[in-house]
Each structure stands twice: as structure tokens, then as C-alpha cells.
Amino acid sequence: MNPLTGETFAQVLVNWQKQHGRQTLPWQHTGDAYKVWLSEVMLQQTQVRTVLAYYARFLQAYPTVSDLAAAPEQDVMQLWAGLGYYTRARNLHACAKQVVARFGGQFPRTVAELESLPGIGQSTAGAIASLAYGVQAPILDGNVKRVFCRYYGIEGYPEQTAIKKSLWDIAEANVPKEQPGVYNQALMDLGATCCMPRNPACSACPVMHTCVALRKGTVGLWPTPKPKKARPELHFISLLLEDARGALLLEPQTEKGVWQGLWAMPFKACSSQADLADLSRIATAWIEQFGLQALSTEIEQQLAGLPDQPWLVHELTHRKMHFKVLLVKVPGVWPGCHAVGDKPVPKIVHKLLDQVRVLAQGSVPQQNTLDLG
């Protein structure tokens, strides 16, 4: 409700749409459900500017839904080529066939019947019903979600079930009995011309006096972006086996993953709580595998200090890796050792090597993790 005029949100928008909204888009003011549906499907993931040319070509090729239904799918796909998201084109064709087969070539009028057709969700059904038939049906596409989140001050990612439900409740409560099509068009126009994702034109917005986000100064923060997934934290024990030349034991990484195709030191996943017994089991396997029996006393001494060694932390975009390092120096030239510069190695190899050398010089830090940057 506008405190200055006493008008409802819907009344303000309807009046604004008539004066300032978009009036010349070719699918407006037609009352033709086929044209409204075609434009709505094309606009689902594509900008108006791009849609205009495709829309005109489609209507020229298929002036009615029956023409579209009768066309070979290959021709429809060909005409759609370049618009992307080709599932839309397949659904478009399937929908046209069903409109002909189930509804005699006339798009149904109710949201429930419209939603039963391929590629038509609740918001598209609401748009067709309200814009073509004047049915009091709400819409809630991405633009409208943004407007509602800001105007009503809804925090939380709009695709979360509870938030989405609140937004649908708002959409249903607001859609007026009179001129629902003009109101829904106003919402779309507001999202496209005032309440844009970036740099919204709030000073030109018809509901600026009652907008929660504008009052709170949080326009740029809403809608709440998609929450980032927590990065998994992975823990490893690694073997830095260095021979007399300073060459390092490196193994080709053949398994699918971030290091596939590179070479890296032997490493094994372990628990963040790994104790001496756990680490010893892994080290024993390495002693066997790499023929290090003659060095087992030295390795056991190293192992004893490992539980107290800080985790060396390596951060990647999608994961955070923590390493404990078993540094073993072997005499002479050792099989499987390569100069680090001779092989493609991930950055972590250099970092671990540098850091372990620092630690080996006795400057063990107090904290129990060490960020490798």
C-alpha cells in the first residue's frame, strides 16, 4: 500500500505500466495464447533483443500452433538454432502437438491444464493465462523474484524451497482480479527497466517509496546469491623422498582428478585425527613398495614427530588440502626420483618441499596448521 495515495502495490504497477511500461513488443496486446506462449518460451533464457528476430521468423514459418505441430522436428530445431537450450525447442514442438491432439488446437485457459503441457511451468502458465485470457494467475520468473526479494526485503536464496514458497505466496496475494495481464506485464517491465540485476534505476521506480531494500540500503545485496558449497577438507600424508642429487620420488597421476596427467610425490588420504598408528601403517606400505627397509629406523624416528607436525594447508577453488609430510633422504641415486623441473608437477610439490625444508631447519611454528598460500 502506498502511504501517500492509498493505492495497492498492484494498482501502482498497473497505472505505471500503462504510462511507462513496454507497449510495443510484438507479442503484447494480441490476446493470442499461441503468440504469448511462443514469446514466453523463447524469453525463458534469452534476452528480448535476441528473441525478437527468432519470434518473427517462427511466426512467419508457423503462423498457428497447428502449423507448428505439423512441422517436422528437424525443421523446428533448424529454426531454433542459435537460441540455445535446445530442450526448449523439443518441448515447444511436443507442446504444439499436444495442444492440437488434446485441446483441438486451442491453448487451454486454466493454469492447471497449461501446466500439464510439455515445457510449461507454473510461471509460464500464469503468464499465458493472464496475458492471453485475463485469468487472475500469478507469475514468478527470475525478474519477478528479484523485484519481490528487494521490495519486500526477503532474505535467502530465492530457489530455496521455503523462500520460493514465500515468494509464490506474495505473487498469489498480489495478483489483482482486474487487469491481471497488465499487472503481470508491469512486473516483467519493472524487472527489465527499473529493478535490473545491476545498477537498478530506483529513482524511476513506481514503488520506491515503499521498497524495503531501498529504505535499508540493501538493494545491491538482494536477492541473496546462491550459497557457495562448503569446500571439502581433505587430509593426506605424503612422502617426500629425496635422493643425493636433490631429485624427488615422483609418480605419474593417472587417476581422474585435478592432477591427472601430472607427476606428484606419493600421498595417501588419512583422517584429520590420524595418530601414530594410522600414519605408521601408511609408512610401512611405502617402505615395502619403494624398498626403503634399510632406512626404516630413520623413518620411524621421523614418524614419531609427525602427529605433532603442523598440517600444511593448500587451498584450491573446490577443496582445501591438508598435508603431513614424511621427509626421507636416501643416499645415491634412487630409482623413480626425478629432478622436479624435469616433470610437470602441481604447485603443491614445490610448496611442500620448500616448507618442509624450513621446518627441517627447526623453525617449527606454534600453530597446528601452516598456510601454504
State the catalytic residues. Answer: 40
Q: Kindly tell me which residue out of 150, 314, 322, 324 binds ligand SF4, with binding defined by CB under 6 A.
A: 150
Residue 320: DSSP 8-state: E
Q: Per rule CB under 6 A, is residue 167 in the interface with ligand SF4?
A: no
Q: Per rule CB under 6 A, is residue 313 in the interface with ligand SF4?
A: no
Query: Residue 340: is it exposed, middle or buried by C-beta count within 10 angstroms (0-12/13-18/19+)?
Result: middle
Instruction: List, in order, residues 6 or more apart from 229 with CB less than 8 Å away.
Output: none
Closest distance to ligand SF4 from the beta carbon of 195 (Å): 3
Q: Which of 248, 218, 255 is nearest to 341 (CA)?
A: 248
Element at 311 (helix H, strand E): strand 311-315
Q: Per rule CB under 6 A, is residue 61 in the interface with ligand SF4?
A: no
Closest distance to ligand SF4 from the beta carbon of 163 (Å): 17
Closest distance to ligand SF4 from the beta carbon of 305 (Å): 59
Q: Coil, strand, or helix at residue 150?
A: helix
Q: Per rule CB under 6 A, is residue 186 in the interface with ligand SF4?
A: no
Element at 371 (helix H, strand E): strand 369-371
Q: Per rule CB under 6 A, is residue 195 in the interface with ligand SF4?
A: yes
Q: Per rule CB under 6 A, is residue 219 in the interface with ligand SF4?
A: yes
Stretch that binds ligand SF4, among 67-75, 152-160, 205-213, 256-264 (CB under 6 A): 205-213
Q: Kindly tell me which residue out of 126, 138, 158, 200 binds ligand SF4, with binding defined by CB under 6 A.
A: 200
Closest distance to ligand SF4 from the beta carbon of 147 (Å): 5
Stretch that binds ligand SF4, among 31-39, 54-62, 144-152, 240-248 (CB under 6 A): 144-152
The backbone region for 217, taken as left when phi is positive above 0, alpha when psi lies in -120 to 50, beta otherwise, is: left
Q: Per rule CB under 6 A, is residue 205 in the interface with ligand SF4?
A: yes
Q: Per rule CB under 6 A, is residue 213 in the interface with ligand SF4?
A: yes
Closest distance to ligand SF4 from the beta carbon of 161 (Å): 24
Q: Kindly tell me which residue out of 79, 147, 249, 326 binds ligand SF4, with binding defined by CB under 6 A.
A: 147
Instruction: Write the CA distances from 299 to 22, 265, 296, 308, integer angstroms.
Output: 76, 16, 5, 15
Report the residue number, 173 or 269, with the smaller CB distance to ligand SF4. Answer: 173
- Letter string b/e over residues 46-75, b meaning 16 or more CB atoms within 10 A of that residue's CB: beeeebeebbeebbeebeebbbbbebeeee
- Indicate the residue type of 95: C
Strand partners, 267: 238
Binding positions for ligand SF4, rule: CB under 6 A: 147, 150-151, 194-195, 200, 202, 205, 207-208, 211, 213-214, 219
